[in-house]
Amino acid sequence: MIMKKQIKNSILGFAVLFGVFSCAPEDWIDYSINNDPDAPSTVPMSLILPAVQQSVAYQLNGNNTVRTTALWMQQFDGVARQSFTETRYQLTPADVNNVFDDIYSEILINCKIIIDQAEGSSPHFSGVAKVLTALSLGVATDLFGDIPYSEALQGSDNLTPAYDSQESIYQTIFSLLDSAISDLSQSDNVFSLAGDLMYDGDVSKWIKAAYSLKARHYIQLSNKSASAYSDAIAAAELGFSDEGDDLALTFDSDDKSPFYQFMDQRGDIVMGGKLYDILYDLPGIFWDPRIDFYFDDFFGAGGSVAGSENADASLPGTFLTAEDATVYLMSLAELHFIKAEANAALGNTAQAITDLENGIVSSMLKAGADYDEVMEDYILDAAFFAQDTSLENIITHKYIDGFGTNQPYADWRRTGFPQLDLAIGAVIPQIPTRFPYPQDELNYNAANVPSVSITDKVWWDE
């Protein structure tokens, strides 16, 4: 079973308090005796929100999804147990039970509770919950394809919800983000936005996050929509504008980061060779600063990174595995690369070059590099930055920056870059293009679960 986080019990406790389950307390035999008149009937939104945010960071960009997609993108290599088999494309319905269930039971239901509780009084809470809902739906549908939503989150009123098409889920995402921007732009709030672990209540940053997520999902439709590139640029221009805008959450010594917990308890992954070789072979660079950020103890561990002829063996660096690691859900660097791709596709070459440069700078700064050194040693190095605005070059740099997120997997399916070889010992003849549906859904909602293989494409990839 995939490891569960320490904070899950408290989050599921919220779900119980909020009536996810269907039994009304007055139906219990000893309700009049056991009911505590001093217990609150609802929990304040300021207490629900931080638990939801921790769950979003843990489930969407933590071990339960990113480990698998990074294995398939050859940024990780699995050397034992479940990670060994997943590297070779063996991912079963039972393997994804936890993450699918937690997206609904920890994130989406509690976001709905916030939205319902905030109605008519606290639009800023509602707006944040809608951004988190859109973010969660985006990751879920990009991994699974069609998913339940319009009939979901109803408890015992509907235990077998229909699956919405991915196309309709994308429309829901855009609608949620538009509604969130409207809510977050309101000036009247009965309850001010408190308990926010991501932006400390800064509504302007949440608005930027909403526009940035719109840009992410517009670019994801590049093979489906003629206006995808222009729509992405329009949204991106209203999105993140400086390094402090990243939508991210930093864990601490109490609620340790997901990969710290995984490496502490399992430790069955090492860094993959593809990411290292791309970094090592970038033109004009002797040593990319992100190597030290992503990889740990290259020259002391011995052996070799899987698939690499250049590097000594390495575990994931503290970027992911520190107790207080930061999980990036959407970053300024990603937004720059989105703009670079869109402008290049539309023939705006000069702007695409600028966007690509900005993306590389933001990526290196995120890795702790010094700005002046980045500009002098890399961006101004003509051999390194040859003004190459090809899709392959842009997506390759986005792949480097996106380590620790699910975006490289989404981009690889959409664009084919970077080019990857089959894993040695692969159990199927191609890299999977989606997650399987979970075993619990196959057991209890079989009539609605689409019949797919992990080598079938999701809608936007068709």
Element (H, E) at 249: strand 247-250
Residue 215 has pLDDT above 50, yes or no: yes
Residue 112 inside a domain? The answer is yes
Residue 63 inside a domain? The answer is yes
Model confidence band, residue 302 (pLDDT cutoffs 50, 70, 90)? very low
Residue 211 inside a domain? The answer is yes
How many residues are there in the chain? 462
| CA Rg value for the chain | 22
Query: Which backbone phi and psi does 18 adopt, to 5 degrees?
Result: -90, 5
What distances in angstroms separate CA 16 from CA 22, 67, 103, 350, 433, one per listed residue?
Answer: 10, 29, 16, 54, 35
Which residue segment(s) compose the domain that 174 sits in? 1-31+43-227+430-442
209 closest CA partner among 200, 199, 218: 199
Residue 20 inside a domain? The answer is yes
Residue 342 inside a domain? The answer is no
Residue 169 has pLDDT above 90, yes or no: yes
Number of domains in the chain: 1
- Amino acid, res. 134: A
Could you write out the DSSP letters of every residue in 150-208? TT-S-GGG-SSPPEEPHHHHHHHHHHHHHHHHHHHT----SS---S-TTTTT-HHHHHH
pLDDT at 41: 57
pLDDT digits (tens, 9 = 90+) for 354-365: 999 999 999 999
CATH of the domain at 122: 1.25.40.390
What gap in Å lies between CA 73 and CA 216, rounded to an integer? 19
Task: Report the DSSP beta bridge partners of residue 76.
Answer: 271
Question: Is there a cis peptide before residue 418, judged by omega within 30 degrees of 0?
Answer: yes
What gap in Å lies between CA 461 and CA 128, rounded to an integer? 29
Residue 261 inside a domain? The answer is no
Average pLDDT over residues 8-31: 38
Check: CB of residue 12 under 8 Å from CB of residue 106.
yes
Residue 26 inside a domain? The answer is yes
Burial environment of residue 30 by CB neighbours within 10 A (0 to 12, 13 to 18, 19 or more): exposed
pTM of the model: 0.89
pLDDT at 313: 52
Residue 352 inside a domain? The answer is no
pLDDT at 28: 37
What gap in Å lies between CA 386 and CA 383, rounded to an integer? 6
Residue 19 has pLDDT above 50, yes or no: no
